Amino acid sequence: MKRILFALILFTGLAWNGPLWAETPLTLMLDWFPNVDHLPIYVAQEKGFFDEQGLAVEILSPSDTADALKLAAAGKVDLAVSYEPQTVMAAARGIDVRVVGRLIEHPLTTLLYLKSSGFTKPADLSGKTIGYTVPGLMDVLMDAFAKVNGIENYRLVNVGFSIVPALSAGRVDAVMGPFKTYETVTMAAEGLEAGFFELEKWGIPDYDELVFICGAETLSREKKRITAFVKAVARGIEVIEASPEAALAAYFQAVPDADRKVETAAFRLTRPYYAKRQVCDPERWQTFADFALKHGLIERPVAVAPLLPALDAD
């Protein structure tokens, strides 16, 4: 009887508590405040794809635009949304990070300005004040972009999250870092017409705009849960492809304070860029890393293969 009673208590406890993974949430820090760039994550959350993988996921917003990679590399959060250029730069500094999946598979970053400024080519920004969004990334990327495109004697200013106010108030003439699928829409909502230079059309190699990263130690410890997370996000992207309106509705349910008009317009522009596969292309990453070395984004060569572990999550 004691054995039967113990078995019943054990079974009840397991049935009540569910998967052991769910007891400790997997922490994910975004690169920015929640927006439609992150929509596949919220679809996975709202549609129960994380639950089906036995995961509880805690989604965090950064207090500063440079926080996510730093905290993930230090093991303070399990995962972070980061950028391919930022990841390559971190690797060049000896920071032991790993790329475990993709969110946006082509560049969205632009050098953004008010169309009324009349700029027609990047060199028109010589002698101007240029803002940037992510310290240690967009300022460095701006320097490389300037070298490639002949922008001289410019002054850099960190504008952080305050992109549109900095432009509309005339504090800066342009900003490096805004997305062509998002800030252009927020500007339009305020009656401002955006102009922008797309990086990949002005000398910067194609790259993965948003990726999921973690520290090397975290991956070693949490590989199963991280693989499960990436699989759930991939399913979220499948929902976007099959039922975009349902995906957007799930996002608004998860982020009820979002501006529906702005986010809906941004979603239509962003939808073609969500990653079709979670596996990164090593050749494309190496091309960017070699460009980064040549143009001074990094000071020493980076072999990208160790950054891109195989997770079997695609």
d(CA 221, CA 218): 5
Residue 284 binned pLDDT confidence (cut-offs 50, 70, 90): very high
| CATH number, domain with residue 70 | 3.40.190.10
Do both 239 and 194 map to the same domain? no
Same domain, 114 and 57: no
How far CA 45 is from CA of 241, 257, 271, 277, in Å, comes to 17, 17, 18, 19
Give per-residue pLDDT as tens, 224-234.
999 999 999 99
Q: Which residues pair with 22 in a beta bridge?
A: none
pLDDT, residue 63, reads: 84
Inside any domain, residue 120? yes
Q: Which of 201, 218, 251 is the last residue of a domain?
A: 201
Contacts of 156 (CB under 8 A, 6+ apart): 130, 131, 132, 139, 142
Domain boundary among 154, 177, 201: 201
How far lies 16's CA from each of 9, 228, 278, in Å?
10, 22, 33
Chain position carrying tokens 């508590």? 17
Let me know whether 45 and 193 are in one domain. no
Q: Inform me whether the pLDDT recorded for 223 exceeds 90.
A: yes
Query: Is the pLDDT at 15 greater than 90, yes or no?
Result: no
Give residue-wise pLDDT tens across range 140-169. Answer: 999 999 999 999 999 999 999 899 999 999
Is residue 314, in this structure, part of any structural domain at all? no
Answer yes or no: do 190 and 258 share one domain.
Answer: no
Domain holding 54, by residue range, is 20-105+208-307
| Beta bridge partners of residue 79, listed in sequence order | 28
- What does each C-alpha distance from 155 to 130, 169, 199, 235 come to in angstroms? 6, 17, 19, 44
Last residue of a domain, one of 184, 201, 218: 201
Residue 77 lies in a domain: yes
Q: What is the mean pLDDT of residues 184-211?
A: 96
Residues 215 and 74: beta-carbon distance below 8 Å: yes
